[in-house]
Amino acid sequence: MRRPPPLTDFPKYPVTAGLGVLAVASTASWHLGGDISSMVMDFRVWHGQPWRLFTSALPHVNIFHLLFNLYWLWVFGSAVEANFGRLRTAALYLFLAAGSAAAEYAVFEGGVGLSGVGYGLFGLLWVLHRKDDRFRDAIDANTVGLFVVWFFLCIALTVTKTLPVGNVAHGMGAIQGLLLGFAIADQRWKRLAIAGLAGLMLVVMAAATVGRPYVNRSGHVGEELAYAGYVEMEAGRNEDGAALYERALRVDGGRAEWWYNLAIAYERLGRERDATSAYEKASALAPDNAQFRAAFEASRTQPK
């Protein structure tokens, strides 16, 4: 297997080295008490903050997590950047980061770290080292074994609740890399690989947006949608807020406070009958809440 270049060669690989520096800086900031909430994946990624798809790859939960990912980013990334150039390497990193982050968010909660990018580079080079002479020594059997064993070990750690790991991000990154490798280097499978990659990204993005209430296993989808609705209403976007509260209540229709806030959104939109109905449900779910009961009674007396 190709030996990684010495760290003193970092000027030759500015994209890979720069990504590593950003990961170190954001991780250090986080563990020194800095606020990285604007970097991680949450519902706001679809509400004007798309950068979270990419920046969530930068912070790492501990030093081992960071060092492991940085090592393989340097090993794999320097080989890619040497042959693909800076712009294509940067695009590759963004593509792998976005796909793996969206997949993890769709199924569970948003994770952090470069693991999805690392597995993406692994999948890409696994194909290219067989089909492109430039990458003949980029990977070997021992590395393949390590990444396969590590993949299943991480699943075991998560299932046993020993250590939660972004296994969906690992898998998504690997699949992205494999398909991209075939699209680049195998003329027989090029069109099928491109179609598969495009279809995969469409499915993942759909699952991370409109499909998330149906595929997500975290149990927090309703709360996230309700909070997003609250944020929209605070900003005066009541139609968007109402739509988000409606989605939250389809996930969990037993939350009185969500019905109450939905009723307020309906009132602001001039939907008086809908507001009365929502107030009624809030009052029925929380009969001891005087505020909900008073709002329902007041709404009933308003002309419709």
Pick the CATH number of 7-215 from 2.70.98.60, 1.20.1540.10, 3.40.50.300, 3.40.630.10: 1.20.1540.10
Instruction: For 159-182, write each residue's pLDDT tens digit.
Output: 998 988 999 999 999 999 999 999
Asked, colleague to colleague, whether 7-215 and 221-301 share their fold, the answer is no
* pTM recorded for the entire structure: 0.88
The number of beta carbons lying within 10 Å of the beta carbon of residue 220 is 14
Q: Where are the domains of the chain?
A: 7-215, 221-301
Start-to-end Cα distance in the chain: 75
pLDDT digits (tens, 9 = 90+) for 262-274: 999 999 999 999 9
Structural fold of domain 221-301: 1.25.40
Cα dist from 165 to 28, 154, 189, 270, whole Å? 20, 6, 32, 46
Q: Which pLDDT belongs to residue 270? A: 95
pLDDT single digits (tens) 186-213 = 889 999 999 999 999 999 999 999 899 8
